[in-house]
Structure 1
């Protein structure tokens, strides 16, 4: 039986605090991005976000693109596409149904991956809880914005694909070169979009500042923080702490963006967060 040293415990606590800060930064970035929607829309914000992420990540990692073979390139290209559709789906959903609900729906992606990889019978209860949570937060009725919900589910599917593709890329490329290459590809695809949007209409400095801040808060800082935290905490704890993202999104949406939620929707968010944490705890126990 191994004992946890004070330094190891302190490192684990520091890693956990870093993850919480990462989640907070991510959701503040999404809230900041929404302020630019009236001028350049979700597509414009995503384009700027991808360009900012590439501008920071590529010089740091310097991936050797010429050394990549086709068996390495194809998952990198798919990863770039999934990254773009994930952000587009999320921001389009945020614009229509609000930050808290959109982020919670997107969170169904990693939850689905966790459920699919779990062989514990109790995971079925977690799946039922998650389904009940979806019904609670979407509250299906005639006035429900099903398009916004659909965008959130597109983001969820893209996030699930992103997780699975990241595993393949990580196995076939050295370090984080594959992820950096995918970021560069995604930025290249969105560059013409950004040029068209910024040339076709007047864009004020506040909008640009919000879009750039979203790239830093929601891409650069969380990416660096997650890399630091993963060296100090186990992957299972990482996943559990990431469950706080929908909670932060709902709170920030309510306080900063005046996107108030009904009590039943708060219950739905809690069910989905609890389902994710439950699945990961079951896997950890095994």
Structure 2
């Protein structure tokens, strides 16, 4: 999330709705510290503070956008809301990435097409999970995708313990019960698999297509994939003005705002700090779900969310600099 290609990948992950979303694609690396570091200037401190404020605002915007989008489910359903979000993401990424589609070769198009497919599936599975099990639990399960990528890249015993901790959280969330929604849980895990795949595909796209052109092309292709579904929903279930506003607001708050915030934040905040802050997104999602949607969680759900967040936090804090 630091060089040009990594910034485009990170921003694209956040634009995808990752409550957003999003965390670093691997254990957050840091550049080796210089042998005699210079003291930070007041300007550096101010810029870093601005970056932290931007991260906080972006995280809240992402989760609030997802919560607002769920308010349109009774009219548009998850598919309709995701379709609108894909349209907004495409507009934002095209405006920033400005891809030259005519110059892309066949070898460049195939990873873009896969990225577009994973992009759409990730958002659709996440929003469908939110519809069934709530915002906090859905985002926590999706968060396992990047966390798994990060832990799999390490060979440390401590990271193995972190993986066990995260797995314990998942088992707690999916414990059998009369009201357990296994389909919703499965959709959340599907979103996690898609997010992990999205990270890996972004690396591939970043290597073969410069800048943000690859994610932008993928976002546009994904929007085209959802165009038929959007047309069917408009014809068969004409959206109300309120539902349309909710869906567009979700696209802006969870796509446009996080993407632009990433462009600002990733130049001003150390990678480790960025990764640590992204770790609290499941907590933010649970709080926003409770405040905005009235989706309260029991102590076991909070404990499970805490286990997943703690696993990523410990892994990042103990990673080598």
Q: Does 1:252 align with 2:283?
A: no
Q: In 1, are the aligned partners of 2:282 and 2:305 still within 8 Å (CA)?
A: yes
Report 1:81-230 matches (<5 A): 81-230=117-266
CA distance in 1, matches of 2:307, 2:150: 15
Aligned length in residues: 285
**What's the CA shift for 1:235?**
2.5
CA distance in 1, matches of 2:131, 2:307: 23
* Unpaired segments ≥5 residues, structure 1: none
Q: In 1, are the aligned partners of 2:71 and 2:246 still within 8 Å (CA)?
A: yes
**What's the CA shift for 1:72?**
1.7
**What's the CA shift for 1:234?**
2.7
Q: In 2, are the aligned partners of 1:20 and 1:244 still within 8 Å (CA)?
A: no
**Which shifted more, 64-73 or 202-211?**
64-73
Q: Does 1:56 align with 2:92?
A: yes
Q: In 2, are the aligned partners of 1:48 and 1:215 still within 8 Å (CA)?
A: yes
Q: Deviation per CA, 1:38-80, whole angstroms, max 9, x where unpaired?
A: 1111011000110112123213332111111222211111111
Q: In 2, are the aligned partners of 1:47 and 1:194 still within 8 Å (CA)?
A: yes
Report 1:230-269 matches (<5 A): 230-269=266-305
What TM-score does the superposition give when structure 2 sets the normalisation length? 0.86
Runs of 4+ displaced beyond 4 Å: none
What TM-score does the superposition give when structure 1 sets the normalisation length? 0.96
Q: In 2, are the aligned partners of 1:61 and 1:176 still within 8 Å (CA)?
A: yes
Q: In 1, are the aligned partners of 2:51 and 2:269 still within 8 Å (CA)?
A: yes
Q: Deviation per CA, 1:98-132, whole angstroms, max 9, x where unpaired?
A: 11000100000110010011222210111111011
CA distance in 2, matches of 1:19, 1:70: 37
Q: Does 1:276 align with 2:312?
A: yes
Give the structure 2 partner of residue 67 of structure 1. Answer: 103
Q: Deviation per CA, 1:191-238, whole angstroms, max 9, x where unpaired?
A: 111011111123110000000000001111101111211111233322
Q: In 1, are the aligned partners of 2:170 and 2:304 still within 8 Å (CA)?
A: yes
**Which shifted more, 228-237 or 102-111?**
228-237
The Cα RMSD (Å) is 1.3
Give the structure 1 partner of residue 37 of structure 2. Answer: 2
**What's the CA shift for 1:26?**
0.5
